[in-house]
Structure 1
Amino acid sequence: MTDVVREGALQARLPVRELAHACVDACARAAAELAALRAGLDTVPEVWVDDGAVATAFTSERHLLINGRAPVNFAPLSRFWRTADGWVRTHANYPHHRERLLKVMGPADSLEAAFAERSALEVEDAVYAAGGLAVALRTPEEWAVHEQAVELARRPLVERERLDSAPARGLAPIDGTPLLPAAGLRVLDLTRVIAGPVATRTFALLGADVLRIDPPRMPELPDQHADTGFGKRSATLDLTADRGAFEELLAVADVVVTGYRPGALDRFGLSAEALAERRPGIVVAQLSAWGAYGPWSERRGFDSLVQVATGIAAVEGSLEQPGALPAQALDHGTGYLLAAEVLRAVREQSYDGGSRFVRLALARTAQWLMEGVPDGSAGWLGGLGATGVDTQETAGQGASATYDGPDAWLAEADSGVGRLRYARSPVSFVGGPGDWARPPGPWGADPARWV
């Protein structure tokens, strides 16, 4: 393995660069090991992790240009607000979240005064009760004794489970250039925002047929979709009215990734257990903000809000002026970890069978960051076990340099939504792909079928 450590990349008080590097390293290792297995190689291709590529990818939404226009990443009401006893952060990028926030707090032109009259916890409880999103600023010590944090601390960073004894998966050999370890896999993408789409665009980079499905009446934010839609197709389906069409997709899917609140899709038969029963041998991956357990398990959440609740915002700033990470690192990092775990599960199925289930939560990734991302994390995350090939890495020399900006890791392409400037994927191994095979198209414009 070859590392390039770049000073100045993702600078923060917390070890954000180390976390980002470890997550991408784990994903690249998993991809290289699966490629070696499917290509019949004697050794695993060397992995290359460059902090410049990593830092650029972890801020990909900021570097995106659409016909020269910069993206809109946060709506005006998605911000910190001073309360009577502290701070809250709100998230109102989607119209329905904005409406629910205003229903509780009053007109937009009087929000400053409305927040100032209430305590932070009072605002948090009231806005969440109305289906909106607002989180009180907490210190790390306050979060550590919170019931949700206690539940998270009992769980590993990545939860893994074998669901049944389905027979081993037969993986077709791959050859040619580039090596595409996920070639032939069908991935059903039921995710939104950043973490899940980052994982699924990585599967697309590696050769999978990725089909994103969204409800027809919940359009994705167009700039967000453009940033995370590379390599994928996008379709809409009503899971009630179009249930037959969805079941046809599911019947031949290899991987299902969900990013909604835990349990929100269970009524459609999309729990891990139900999916394994209908499609033995499937890999199910679930992402959530707060985890699938504890008092906040059914709450919506986003990276910015998790930073505030877990004490990250207080560490990166102060109680008088909260701060933020230099990237939405919980989203991006969790996305690459999920991709690594799915690739690992597919590889393990090739010789050990079984439907597989993996689960991650942004708040658990936040805890890992707060713990300092222990040395050797990348090796632990990427140590994927016996593969039938030599997993000893090709000896690579580490290097040190300075991060001078994103330009070296940006590319341009024409797409169905205009001329794009975008960040390349940081997942790299010898012989692997250097870019996506297709740019994103308009949200919901593709037919709901496999290619």
Structure 2
Amino acid sequence: MTGTGREADEAAHGAVDEAAAGAEYVGAEYAWKRLGGDPALLSRVSAVVREGALPARLPVRELARACVAACALAAAELTARRTGRDVPAVRVDDGAVATAFTSERHLLVDGRAPVNFAPLSRFWRTADGTLRTHANYPHHRARFLGALGLPPDASADAVAAELAGRSARAVEEEVYAAGGLAVALRTPGEWAVHPHGAAVAGQDLLERGRLDSAPARVFPPLAGGPLLPMAGLRVLDLTRVIAGPVATRTLALLGADVLRLDAPWLPELPDQHADTGFGKRSATLDLGTDRDAFASLLASADVVVTGYRPGALDRFGLTPEALAARRPGIVVAQVSAWGGGGPWAGRRGFDSLVQVATGIASVEGGPDRPGALPAQALDHGTGHLLAAAVLRALTEQAEEGGTRYARLALARTATWLTRGLGGTGGGGKGRGRDGGRGRPEEDTGAVAPVAVAADAPYTGPDAWLGETGSPLGRLRYALPPVSFAGGPADWSRPPGPWGAQPARWE
């Protein structure tokens, strides 16, 4: 570790407890500002604070609350635009948020618990440290084992024996080169001086912008109940795993017609698809050979959400600029693991790996005994922010028009978390820049804090679980945490089998 890394580690570890204590509401304010929202609307938000929900050294509960609050407020704002009334009151309950952020753990299909991590997705001791791998998908498992020179049926014991004599960072590079996923454990200080860590540190929590002067969007008014701000809008969902599907699951809750498209040769994990498939339809489409079919879908789409590595879909004309030319006035929302700039921009990644690279696992455990956040909070938090960005873009289109885009990354959300939910990127001076001593107002602006509606302990998820029949069987599932007065309390449809619906709009 370099001297700079040691100094960054000392600042990061010294700031953890202060950040956790001081980030109760600044996170929502900061996220809302980054989304371009009117700070005065934060007065519409209240929170039910529940001690014991999502316990961690880092301010995970506050991050989760902030992301959901920003999303719910963006939904309420668009609702007001479509009803001509005041912005409905938003209420964020830590119990609902904690349950939703661990939704994949609460899912039951006909009473069967889900399978969330495969045997080779875990921490491994190496000759010089610790390595985290992700091998849930068969093709990732095969690439990981191939990079180690092990047979496809190698056991966990065989992998452990092989890694015990190798360097974590050398294996990280070898597995990546083979198309697999492995990340060496780093401390916050080591990540701070890593080329990609330095690149992410200079980026904002999210990117958003306007690409052209497309006419202002005209929404038909909402009628009846519940109030669904996305009613009548079509969303093409080209996402996988958790963050992107959480975003589109949220848009479906709010009334969008969401059609998820996957390559027919790349099936999703069944339990993962069930958990994030509420409110949507699922179809398969080969973007390389079915270009006409995709063009037909795009012609009447309002939003495109992608969740692949930066550049992975460019050859299909799915950059924001290309989509703006093909479908002026569309909203393009993109999420990735590592972001679009820096040496790791083109790498695959997942929440668990980003936690390990950015120092979160070290903070939550230690260099010799790494830990983890109490939820895949980078995924769920980023997913809710992505949905919020779509909602805010639609509101801005109604005011000013223009094709809009938004980009988020798990690594940026991780930086926001480790800085105590203060400023990230762009020379901001939020909490974490100076070891947790900076005033959040220096970067976020002085705005009224979110009001506390009540305080209560968190006694478990039962109050925020629902049950329903589905084509997959009887489901127990986490209810949505996004809530505003008059809005929906649940999804309009359960998930169905992966790829079972036709690739067309209803």
**Do they fold alike, i.e. is TM over 0.5?**
yes
- Which letter maps to 2:123? F
Q: Is the 2:137–2:269 contact (alpha carbons within 8 Å) kept by the matching residues of 1?
A: yes
- In structure 2, what is the equivalent of residue 445 of structure 1? 500
Residues 1:359 and 2:407 aligned together: yes
- In structure 2, what is the equivalent of residue 305 of structure 1? 353
- In structure 2, what is the equivalent of residue 20 of structure 1? 64
Could you list the per-position Cα deviations for residues 328-352 of structure 1 after superposition, in whole angstroms to 9, with x for gaps in the alignment? 0000000000000110000000010
Residues 1:435 and 2:490 aligned together: yes
Between the aligned partners of 2:279 and 2:467, the Cα distance in structure 1 is 14
- In structure 1, what is the equivalent of residue 115 of structure 2? 72
Between the aligned partners of 1:65 and 1:374, the Cα distance in structure 2 is 37
- Which letter maps to 1:73? N
Residues 1:8 and 2:52 aligned together: yes
Please, which of 86, 103, 111 is the counterpart of residue 60 of structure 1? 103
Deviation, structure 1 residue 102: 0.7
Between the aligned partners of 2:47 and 2:225, the Cα distance in structure 1 is 23
Could you list the per-position Cα deviations for residues 305-361 of structure 1 after superposition, in whole angstroms to 9, with x for gaps in the alignment? 000000000000011110000000000000000000110000000010000010000
- Which letter maps to 2:477? Y
Q: Which moved more, 1:367-376 or 1:219-228?
A: 367-376
Between the aligned partners of 2:168 and 2:198, the Cα distance in structure 1 is 21
- Which letter maps to 2:248? T
Please, which of 453, 457, 460 is the counterpart of residue 405 of structure 1? 460
Q: Is the 2:49–2:94 contact (alpha carbons within 8 Å) kept by the matching residues of 1?
A: yes
Deviation, structure 1 residue 160: 0.7
SS in 2 for 1:369: helix
Please, which of 266, 270, 294 is the counterpart of residue 318 of structure 2? 270
Higher RCO (CA < 8 A, seq sep 6+): 1
Please, which of 240, 254, 260 is the counterpart of residue 302 of structure 2? 254
For residues 319-398 of structure 1, the aligned pairs below 5 Å read 319-374=367-422, 398=453
Q: TM-score, normalised by structure 1?
A: 0.95
Between the aligned partners of 2:94 and 2:223, the Cα distance in structure 1 is 29
- Which letter maps to 1:72? V
Could you list the per-position Cα deviations for residues 131-152 of structure 1 after superposition, in whole angstroms to 9, with x for gaps in the alignment? 0000000000000111111111
Could you list the per-position Cα deviations for residues 56-97 of structure 1 after superposition, in whole angstroms to 9, with x for gaps in the alignment? 000000000000000000000000000000000000000000
Query: Structure 1 unaligned runs (5+)?
Result: 384-391
- In structure 2, what is the equivalent of residue 143 of structure 1? 191
Q: Is the 2:49–2:452 contact (alpha carbons within 8 Å) kept by the matching residues of 1?
A: no
Q: TM-score, normalised by structure 2?
A: 0.85
For residues 4-153 of structure 1, the aligned pairs below 5 Å read 4-41=48-85, 43-105=86-148, 106-107=150-151, 108-109=154-155, 110-153=158-201
Q: Is the 2:107–2:114 contact (alpha carbons within 8 Å) kept by the matching residues of 1?
A: yes
Between the aligned partners of 2:244 and 2:328, the Cα distance in structure 1 is 23
Q: Which moved more, 1:108-117 or 1:67-76?
A: 108-117
Deviation, structure 1 residue 396: 6.2
Deviation, structure 1 residue 2: 2.3
SS in 1 for 2:50: strand
SS in 1 for 2:469: strand
Between the aligned partners of 2:316 and 2:359, the Cα distance in structure 1 is 36
SS in 1 for 2:335: strand
- In structure 2, what is the equivalent of residue 386 of structure 1? none
Between the aligned partners of 2:201 and 2:325, the Cα distance in structure 1 is 30
Between the aligned partners of 1:275 and 1:241, the Cα distance in structure 2 is 18
Query: Structure 2 unaligned runs (5+)?
Result: 1-44, 424-429, 432-439
- Which letter maps to 2:252? A
Deviation, structure 1 residue 397: 5.2
Between the aligned partners of 2:411 and 2:181, the Cα distance in structure 1 is 16
RMSD (CA atoms): 1.8
- Which letter maps to 1:430? A
SS in 1 for 2:395: helix
Between the aligned partners of 2:105 and 2:245, the Cα distance in structure 1 is 16
For residues 209-228 of structure 1, the aligned pairs below 5 Å read 209-228=257-276
Deviation, structure 1 residue 154: 1.5
Q: Which moved more, 1:299-308 or 1:101-110?
A: 101-110
- Which letter maps to 1:67? D
- Which letter maps to 1:13? R
Percent sequence identity over matched residues? 73
Q: Is the 2:335–2:407 contact (alpha carbons within 8 Å) kept by the matching residues of 1?
A: yes
Could you list the per-position Cα deviations for residues 252-309 of structure 1 after superposition, in whole angstroms to 9, with x for gaps in the alignment? 1100000000000000000110000110001000100000111000000000000000
> What is the count of residue pairs matched by the alignment?
439
Between the aligned partners of 2:88 and 2:79, the Cα distance in structure 1 is 8
Deviation, structure 1 residue 438: 0.2
Between the aligned partners of 1:155 and 1:437, the Cα distance in structure 2 is 37
